[in-house]
Amino acid sequence: TWNHTFYWLGFTPKGQGKPAGELAAAIDAKWGSFEKFQEAFNACAAGTFGSGWAWLVKTPAGELDLVSTSNAGTPLTTENTPLLTCDVWEHAYYIDYRNSRPNYLKGFWEIVNWDEVASRSRNFIKSSCLCVSNADSISCEIKKLLTIF
């Protein structure tokens, strides 16, 4: 449920084209250009075997990265902070895109809410949790969730 909620909140009916400001600068610094970032993200999404998710994340060092998770996997189980995700389960594109993941990805970019992604990036905090028990781990995850939304 969390992955899908996060996914839907990353969209806007009137797409915003490209990110601006600090997020655009961070993308350019990491991938060289927004177009190269899109290519890398698309490769991550298209290369996710079976059902899963492609993610733009911010690492604990504050750097951007791309990760793929299978099934219901989420970066929340790592130290990465999710900024944007693309659902690559077949149900996301089977009917509208005739089961074509590449065509689905073209449509994905048309509705990304870059203001929301930038806000997630600005509001990320490095996890200061030292998790020594399962209860501590759950508490850390709740703190991370609260900083994302």
Q: What is the pLDDT of residues 60-103, one digit of tens each?
A: 999 999 999 988 889 999 999 999 999 885 544 444 545 555 77
* Position 56 pLDDT exceeds 80: yes
Q: What is the pLDDT of residues 104-141, one digit of tens each?
A: 788 889 989 999 999 999 986 544 343 334 444 454 55
Q: Give the pLDDT of residue 131.
A: 39
Beta bridge mates, 64: 58
Beta bridge mates, 53: 69, 87
Give all strands (DSSP E) within 50-106, no chain letters: 52-58, 64-70, 81-87
Q: Give the pLDDT of residue 134.
A: 44
Q: Give the pLDDT of residue 94.
A: 43
Q: Give the pLDDT of residue 140.
A: 53
With residues binned 3-state (H G I as helix, E B as strand, rest as coil), the percentages for the chain, rounded to 5, are: 50, 15, 35
3-class DSSP state for residue 29?
helix
| Maximum CA extent, the chain | 47
Name the pLDDT band for 32 (thresholds 50, 70, 90). Answer: very high
Q: Give the pLDDT of residue 132.
A: 38
